[in-house]
Structure 1
């Protein structure tokens, strides 16, 4: 198959921010009296933050309920973490460089709001890296709905069939598959053994082997 573009998820792929999201969610939700555990917030990895808030409101309702304010309280903590100690994940800088050198268009498709995207790009000095950036922030549905990936492919002017998506979450992987893209899953090590990753076309330990995987299995450009 001919691959013309590579589309990266952001949280958990470009930057190691998933622990920050989980810590922020635990802090805010438990202040509201939900008494969540770390394993609880792992259930919503990859969902848009307003969907996460709604998820817990449906299961452990609290009052007064203000989805927007709760989401803002969580994302403010995440932005602070990114600005202070955010780091690129292993191999991602090399993968981005390799993609550009091999003539692939580079996209970013994320559930995160724009101000978190900007914080990540600024912190990692990636402001001029991506040919297209799409967020599910204002879409009717976030991941696992495929729209954010379809929008990114459209912005890149590449047929989704000629895109490969890099994901760390099952919700994101479902979105990319539904968009009819090729997929690479790079799950967190403690989840890597789970059978759910079998829907990915390839599963890698980290981004260091993205280039060799694409070279071995696909025609580029």
Structure 2
């Protein structure tokens, strides 16, 4: 990546599991919510069911149609406020991330965050890392119509950067359900689903 970075038109990063190891905190907040409401769940399956999903999608999965729109909104606000309080003192970049972001910034490569999280959380994490000055665009899950693993959010980020996808690299958090190719990007680098202590790895070069 270091050798090719100066040739890139854009760098686009997922947030949870890519910028930061926040997923354990998301799992904790969901387990607390489900236990509070007496909803049975399999802890081993929970990461696949909630990580990378929009909150309203996950709420419908577990609660069905029992919640009104206002109840869903209130629960989402409570969930994310709990997350921000718990994660604030733990916000630090994953290994290998900061040198890459700094190098991209010095090389003049526009960079973006593309996350399914709500806008308030994206701003919170980027600000907590002290990385806001590095990113030209922050795209959240409410700004796209198709959820991940569809690449719409990454393509929107590329448009905001003014970068062609085929000349850009997307860094994404990968779960079993979203192991898909990103053929329109020069490369897609996938972080492992369990990201603690691991560096970016794995590439899917775009076809020539």
Give your verdict on TM over 0.5.
Answer: yes
Q: Which residue of the partner structure matches residue 195 of structure 1?
A: none
Is residue 49 from structure 1 mapped to residue 42 from structure 2 by the alignment? no
1:173, 1:183 within 8 Å by CA — same for their partners in 2?
Answer: no
Is residue 206 from structure 1 mapped to residue 196 from structure 2 by the alignment? no
Q: Using the alignment, how far apart are the partners of 1:190 and 1:159 within structure 2? A: 28
Is residue 132 from structure 1 mapped to residue 125 from structure 2 by the alignment? no
Q: Using the alignment, how far apart are the partners of 1:42 and 1:145 within structure 2? A: 18
Q: What's the C-alpha RMSD, in Å, of the aligned pairs?
A: 2.9
Q: Which residue of the partner structure matches residue 146 of structure 2?
A: 141
- CA change 1:90–1:157 in 2 (3 A) is same
Written as runs of structure 1 = structure 2, the 5 A alignment for 1:112-127 is 112-127=117-132
Q: Which residue of the partner structure matches residue 79 of structure 1?
A: 84
| Partner of residue 13 from structure 2, selected from 8, 11, 16 | 8
Q: Deviations over 1:113-166 (max 9, x none)?
A: 111112112211112110211112243332123221111011001111211110
Q: Using the alignment, how far apart are the partners of 2:195 and 2:18 within structure 1? A: 15
What is the TM-score with the length of structure 1 in the denominator? 0.77
Q: Using the alignment, how far apart are the partners of 1:151 and 1:46 within structure 2? A: 17
Q: Aligned with 1:38: secondary structure?
A: coil
Q: Aligned with 1:7: secondary structure?
A: strand
2:21, 2:195 within 8 Å by CA — same for their partners in 1?
Answer: no
Q: Aligned with 2:12: secondary structure?
A: strand
Structure 2 unaligned segments of length 5 or more: list them. Answer: none
Q: Deviations over 1:75-111 (max 9, x none)?
A: 1111112223222211111110122233322111011
1:48, 1:143 within 8 Å by CA — same for their partners in 2?
Answer: no
Q: Aligned with 1:184: secondary structure?
A: strand
Q: Using the alignment, how far apart are the partners of 1:172 and 1:18 within structure 2? A: 16
Q: Which residue of the partner structure matches residue 92 of structure 1?
A: 97
Structure 1 unaligned segments of length 5 or more: list them. Answer: 192-204
How many residues align? The count is 196
- CA change 1:101–1:11 in 2 (3 A) is same
| Partner of residue 156 from structure 1, selected from 139, 161, 165 | 161
Deviation at 1:173, TM superposition (A): 5.5
- CA change 1:5–1:31 in 2 (3 A) is same
Q: Using the alignment, how far apart are the partners of 1:117 and 1:82 within structure 2? A: 13
Q: Using the alignment, how far apart are the partners of 1:158 and 1:173 within structure 2? A: 24
